[in-house]
A and B are shown apart, each in its own frame.
Chain A
């Protein structure tokens, strides 16, 4: 018998498109199996921490499985970690650091789950060197539509590997991930040795990033509101895990990301304080406070990887109508699309927080819905209420697609099916694997319905 189900309105991090589902808390694999085998006509979907921006973790009218009670962690002697799908990265990081280890890949927030990291095949600042989260997965346990619990091992039979790869980036549509074994990396201290470079415009920024491969971590924060000669100005931070001899003894205990939630929570605001004036001022201040050039600065893991985690519920700052994040990836040859996107969004005066520009390394060709492809990725936050946004983003989609690029499903809340199909040429292969393993379509989401995945 599955634990109590409660009808709940769910949205993504962007707080834009609510739908109501039966939220069912699973405490063990048996609960997951029971829920999967008794799913009704509206199907079932596992939800992690709800940090995807759009409707990826919603299933209107159906069942949404909450796996947050499935957070057992085991650290193995070979450096691998085995974690329940509901494990928060924020809980994992302190355990790993105590052993001198760190996550192989982490996104810009630690408040996501391991299951979500696999389902969205998340990337981090080291993608150009280490790839996405999926590259480090040894095996997963997946509850499929028939109620079987399958251990899909990287070294297993071809069919299992194909299903494993489809599940990596598969947005929860192949089954329910219950447990993951993945490799970790060494982090002898809780610090990163950081190099900072400030770039006055986009050309300067992108050329600075040409030698990113010399650094394990690299990300550029771009002023998405700067126009004209300053278009694309930004601050590039790159770094390496600091070695013990880099860190003075008195600092060694600092910098460790805590498992606790944020220290400060944004209250519900009736009117969003984020507008063109306040955000332009913020971007300006943030740009000016960065050093033109600085080397070998010791930065704690928390401020380096999770700067926004300090402010809980920052998504509420966007007000009742919510916001969305437009994130695309384009091959190197399509680098001009980055400029086009910044021009279009800065040109229409869309108020946007710090945008993120990054280089991607080789993508996971075997994972049909995994987002990263070699080249550039840009992510821009925009309030949903911005006038003219729909048409502007539709037009940018065209630029992204003609450059051979794609949109990130974990961020999407407004694309149309044809845009996704054109960006993910292996979508047909994903559909075929999915229809084999789930012929009756048990696993569905609002995203999969909207985008006809």
Chain B
């Protein structure tokens, strides 16, 4: 149970090597936090993530095998994680960015990305929501993206997967109202992480730490949506209302 001073005692990270997720775990680090489960495919990156958190004094860090695309395995994974004790925060942080041109050249790649970003997330979100409802408390934090708010020419495949995820999470938030469980949808702009290191940062770009701080603030306030940076809320509101002919010509 997250305590009266907003300190979770346990966190499950789905996509346990995500820079944003690890920054969020660090931002939620406290003497009250005693269990962190990093769910990810076995890799050097996962080992490093565990070692890094342990070195930073995070208690009770364990790794479990998780493949977002293998939805048939998700039920057992989540049941096991919840049967080891209540989870105060479930962070859905996995996703692939891909390359728009590659997606258009090889639609199979686009399908694979959608399998992870949308279908995989759908699978874990619905299951986690059920477990959170059963325990009567806890927050599902879903890393969406402003890319899902209005599809752009330059990355509409990725954007469409996030649009699906964002709709799912928003609907789930309403479904869980009054259940004791909550959903926090996080909509960052361009985040400078390993996933985007090959790209030129867009305006209003942020770091993983800034996203993490926004998540912590959102959890504290009980928000249902946070934009990172906060100014992105206004920007996206403007972009959503631009006439298509204008929007298409924007260099974004």
Given contacts A60-B86, A60-B137, contact A17 B2 (CB under 8 A): yes
Inter-chain contact B32/A414, CB cutoff 8 Å: yes
- The distance in angstroms between the C-alpha atoms of A14 and B135, with both chains bound, is 21
Inter-chain contact B135/A61, CB cutoff 8 Å: yes
Chain B residue, CB-CB nearest to A59: B136
- The distance in angstroms between the C-alpha atoms of A446 and B135, with both chains bound, is 10
Which of A18-26, A65-73, A373-381 is near enough to bind chain B?
A18-26
Inter-chain contact B4/A384, CB cutoff 8 Å: yes
Inter-chain contact A390/B7, CB cutoff 8 Å: yes
Chain A 231-251, CB within 8 Å of chain B: the 1/0 string?
Answer: 000000000000000000000
Inter-chain contact B136/A389, CB cutoff 8 Å: no
**B interface size (C-beta, 8 A):** 23
Given contacts A42-B135, A60-B86, A61-B135, contact A19 B180 (CB under 8 A): yes
Inter-chain contact A60/B135, CB cutoff 8 Å: yes
Chain B 70-103, CB within 8 Å of chain A: the 1/0 string?
Answer: 0000000000000001100000000000000000
State the Cβ distance, B73 to closest chain A Cβ, in Å: 23
Partner of B136, one of A14, A61, A413: A61
CB contacts (< 8 Å) of A393 on chain B: these are 5
CB contacts (< 8 Å) of B31 on chain A: these are 394, 416
Given contacts A19-B180, A416-B31, A416-B32, contact A60 B136 (CB under 8 A): yes
Inter-chain contact A449/B1, CB cutoff 8 Å: yes
Given contacts A9-B178, A394-B31, contact A413 B4 (CB under 8 A): yes
Chain B 17-30, CB within 8 Å of chain A: the 1/0 string?
Answer: 00000000000001
Partner of B134, one of A16, A61, A413: A61
Partner of A19, one of B3, B4, B136: B136
Which of A324, A393, A414 gathers most chain B CB within 10 Å? Answer: A414
Return the 3 tightest CB-CB contacts between A and B, nearest first. A20-B180, A60-B136, A413-B4
Q: Tell whether A54 is near chain B: CB-to-CB under 8 Å.
A: yes
Chain B 133-160, CB within 8 Å of chain A: the 1/0 string?
Answer: 1111100000000000000000000000
Q: Tell whether B224 is near chain A: CB-to-CB under 8 Å.
A: no
Partner of B137, one of A18, A416, A417: A18
CB contacts (< 8 Å) of A18 on chain B: these are 137, 180
Inter-chain contact A414/B4, CB cutoff 8 Å: yes
Given contacts A60-B86, A416-B32, contact A20 B137 (CB under 8 A): yes
Partner of B3, one of A21, A59, A450: A450
- The distance in angstroms between the C-alpha atoms of A32 and B1, with both chains bound, is 26
- The distance in angstroms between the C-alpha atoms of A432 and B73, with both chains bound, is 38
Given contacts A18-B180, A19-B180, A20-B179, contact A450 B1 (CB under 8 A): yes
Q: Tell whether A309 is near chain B: CB-to-CB under 8 Å.
A: no
CB contacts (< 8 Å) of A413 on chain B: these are 3-5
CB contacts (< 8 Å) of B161 on chain A: these are none
Q: Tell whether A201 is near chain B: CB-to-CB under 8 Å.
A: no
Chain A 295-337, CB within 8 Å of chain B: the 1/0 string?
Answer: 0000000000000000000000000001010000000000000
Q: Tell whether B117 is near chain A: CB-to-CB under 8 Å.
A: no
**A interface size (C-beta, 8 A):** 30
Q: Tell whether A121 is near chain B: CB-to-CB under 8 Å.
A: no
CB contacts (< 8 Å) of A42 on chain B: these are 134-136
Chain B residue, CB-CB nearest to A445: B1
Residue positions of B touching A, CB distance < 8 A = 1-7, 9, 30-32, 34, 85-86, 133-137, 178-181
Partner of B30, one of A55, A60, A324, A390: A390
CB contacts (< 8 Å) of A55 on chain B: these are 1
CB contacts (< 8 Å) of B9 on chain A: these are 450
Pairs across A and B, CB under 8 Å, 26 listed: A7-B179, A14-B4, A16-B4, A17-B2, A17-B4, A19-B180, A20-B178, A42-B134, A60-B1, A60-B137, A61-B133, A61-B135, A61-B137, A62-B136, A322-B4, A324-B4, A389-B5, A394-B31, A414-B5, A414-B7, A414-B32, A416-B31, A446-B1, A449-B1, A450-B3, A450-B9
CB contacts (< 8 Å) of B134 on chain A: these are 42, 61
| Contacts of A250-290 to chain B: CB distance below 8 A | none
CB contacts (< 8 Å) of B6 on chain A: these are 384
State the Cβ distance, B68 to closest chain A Cβ, in Å: 27
| Contacts of A190-224 to chain B: CB distance below 8 A | none
State the Cβ distance, A267 to closest chain B Cβ, in Å: 21
State the Cβ distance, A403 to closest chain B Cβ, in Å: 19
- The distance in angstroms between the C-alpha atoms of A59 and B137, with both chains bound, is 10
Given contacts A394-B31, A414-B7, A414-B32, contact A20 B1 (CB under 8 A): no
CB contacts (< 8 Å) of A414 on chain B: these are 3-5, 7, 32
- The distance in angstroms between the C-alpha atoms of A384 and B2, with both chains bound, is 13
CB contacts (< 8 Å) of A59 on chain B: these are 136
- The distance in angstroms between the C-alpha atoms of A393 and B5, with both chains bound, is 10
Chain A 384-417, CB within 8 Å of chain B: the 1/0 string?
Answer: 1000011001100000000000000000011011
- The distance in angstroms between the C-alpha atoms of A393 and B135, with both chains bound, is 28
Inter-chain contact A390/B5, CB cutoff 8 Å: yes
CB contacts (< 8 Å) of B3 on chain A: these are 17, 413-414, 450
- The distance in angstroms between the C-alpha atoms of A370 and B237, with both chains bound, is 56
State the Cβ distance, B108 to closest chain A Cβ, in Å: 42
State the Cβ distance, A23 to closest chain B Cβ, in Å: 11
Chain B residue, CB-CB nearest to A397: B31
Chain A 98-132, CB within 8 Å of chain B: the 1/0 string?
Answer: 00000000000000000000000000000000000
- The distance in angstroms between the C-alpha atoms of A322 and B178, with both chains bound, is 19
Chain B residue, CB-CB nearest to A386: B5
- The distance in angstroms between the C-alpha atoms of A449 and B86, with both chains bound, is 8
| Contacts of A422-453 to chain B: CB distance below 8 A | 446, 449-450
Chain A residue, CB-CB nearest to B179: A20
Inter-chain contact A9/B180, CB cutoff 8 Å: yes
16 other A-B residue contacts (CB within 8 Å) besides A60-B86, A60-B137: A7-B179, A17-B4, A19-B136, A20-B137, A61-B133, A61-B134, A61-B135, A61-B136, A390-B5, A390-B30, A413-B3, A413-B4, A413-B5, A416-B31, A446-B137, A450-B3
